[in-house]
Amino acid sequence: MLSDSDCVAFLQWALPRLRMRWPGFRKVRQQVCKRIRRRIGALELSGIPAYRQWLEDHPDEWEVLDGMCRITISRFYRDRGVFDALAADILPGLARRAKAEGRTLRAWSAGCASGEEPYTLSLIWHFLLKAEFPKLDFSIIATDADEHMLARARTGCYPRGALKELPEPWRQQAFYREAEAFCIKPSFKASISWIEQDIRRDQPAGRFDLVLCRNLVATYFDADLQRSVFTRIKGALRAGGVLVLGCHEQLPEGIPGWIPKTEQLYEASG
């Protein structure tokens, strides 16, 4: 049996070796501890000391542990204020520029979980902005390292709780019922491409007007890894493009070229 304090001590030892930071996991550790408990059981080990020895004897196990350290919590319209700002100000500004330049408006949802975040962008576009920009193409690339999350995202069916922050008329218009689940209608899926990708190593091709990187890099990765990922994200943004962070996140110090617009929104300088 793995106690909470055993799990905490183990994570404080293991996470830095994976270039992750313990404070990000403090509140959500149960998700990870549950998986570690299951893994120790599946390997028929006696507990944490034996699992640490297993990691030493089987270096490939680090990759398994890395996979167990993915926090997958998300929901539609998470942090309402950010999506309100995107809808009212940021997206219309970016759309006007893309229209003037005669090109597609492009957004990247990095660490998209089961699709709640990119679908929220798609809903905002359909319900609030499409009528103003009828000829503009809006393309959303959604990436995640976890194939199971992406499979759920492609299916697009959710329990009611995942939709609780969504405006009620949108829920009624954009979803259909399948038993207990609420499934998003195909027209809201069309603008989204899903890619299995580890943000520590890869990123989607091309340049973006908007990148949402929320509740992933700035929460779970160590400072050096954060700096290298955000430097690459800056390279993927057009000058004047916007990066959105989660509501308890900030950019690490020591990476130039970002102009803060609000606490969670940063503009990429030229």
User: Which residues contribute to the site for ligand SAM (CB under 6 A)?
Assistant: 70-74, 78, 111, 113, 116-117, 144-146, 149, 198-200, 214-216, 246
Backbone angles phi, psi at 218, to 5 degrees: -75, -10
Q: What would the two tokens of residue 91 be?
A: 């997206």
Residue 73 DSSP SS3 = coil
- Nearest-approach distance from CB 74 to ligand SAM, in angstroms: 3
**Shortest spacing between CB 29 and ligand SAM, in angstroms:** 13
Taking the complex as a whole, the smallest distance from the CB of residue 229 to ligand SAM amounts, in Å, to: 9
What are the C-alpha distances in Å from 207 to residues 139, 187, 235, 263? Answer: 12, 25, 8, 23
Q: Please work out, in degrees rounded to the nearest 5, the angle formed at the alpha carbon of residue 154 by the alpha carbons of 148 and 157.
A: 90
Report the residue number, 47 or 204, with the smaller CB distance to ligand SAM.
204
Chain centroid offset of residue 48 CA: 30
Give the nearest distance from C-beta 120 to ligand SAM in angstroms. Answer: 9
Minimum CB distance to ligand SAM smaller for 149 or for 157: 149
Beta bridge partners of 138: 105
| Nearest to ligand SAM of 70, 238 (CB atom) | 70
Instruction: Look up residue 15 and give its two tokens.
Output: 């996470």
**Residue among 90 and 149 whose Cβ is closer to ligand SAM:** 149
**124 closest CA partner among 159, 160, 157, 166:** 166
Give the nearer residue to ligand SAM in terms of CB position, either 1 or 205: 205
Provide the token pair at 108.
């990247």
Please, what is the minimum distance in Å from the beta carbon of residue 43 to ligand SAM? 23
Q: What's the rounded Cα separation, in Å, for the pair 66 and 203?
A: 19
Q: Between residues 17 and 103, which has the closer beta carbon with respect to ligand SAM? A: 17
> In the complex, what is the shortest distance from the CB of residue 195 to ligand SAM, in angstroms, rounded to a whole number?
10
